[in-house]
Amino acid sequence: MTDPGTAVTATRARLPRPSADLVTPASALFLDADGTLLAFADDPDGVVVPDGMLDTLDAIHDVLGGALALVSGRAIASLDGIFGRPGWAAAGQHGLERRDAEGRTTTVPVDAGELARLRTMVHGVADRLPGVRVEDKSWSVALHCREHPEHSPELERIAPAIAARFDGFELQPGSYVYEFKPRGMDKGVAVAAFLDNEPFMGRHPVYLGDDLTDEHAFAMVNERGGASVRVGARTPSSAVFTLSSPADVHAWLDSVKTALTQGAAGRQ
User: Which domains are present in the chain?
Assistant: 29-56+69-108+185-267 (3.40.50.1000), 112-182 (3.30.70.1020)
3-state secondary structure 163-232: HCCCCCEEEEEECCEEEEEECCCCHHHHHHHHHCCCCCCCCEEEEEECCHHHHHHHHHHHHCCCEEEEEC
Backbone angles phi, psi at 184, to 5 degrees: 90, 0
Our answer to whether residue 32 is catalytic in this structure is yes
Antiparallel, parallel or unpaired: β 68-71 and 27-31: parallel
pLDDT tens digit sequence for 200-246: 999 999 999 998 889 999 999 999 999 999 999 877 899 999 999 99
In this prediction, residue 13 carries a pLDDT of 53
Q: What is the pLDDT of residue 15?
A: 87
Percent of the chain with pLDDT over 70: 93
Q: Return the pLDDT at 108.
A: 86
Mean pLDDT of all residues in 16-42: 95
The answer to whether the beta carbons of residues 27 and 67 sit under 8 Å apart is yes
Find the angle CA(33)-CA(81)-CA(113) to the nearest 5 degrees: 85
pTM, two decimals, is 0.83
Q: Which of 21, 32, 55, 111 is catalytic?
A: 32
165-209 confidence digits (pLDDT tens): 999 999 988 888 899 988 888 999 999 999 999 999 999 999 999
**How many degrees, rounded to 5, is the angle at CA 190 between CA 200 and CA 253?**
60
Q: What is the pLDDT of residues 105-155, one digit of tens each?
A: 999 888 999 999 999 999 999 999 999 999 888 888 999 998 899 999 999
∠ CA 78-79-82, rounded to 5°: 90
The predicted structure's pLDDT at residue 267: 62
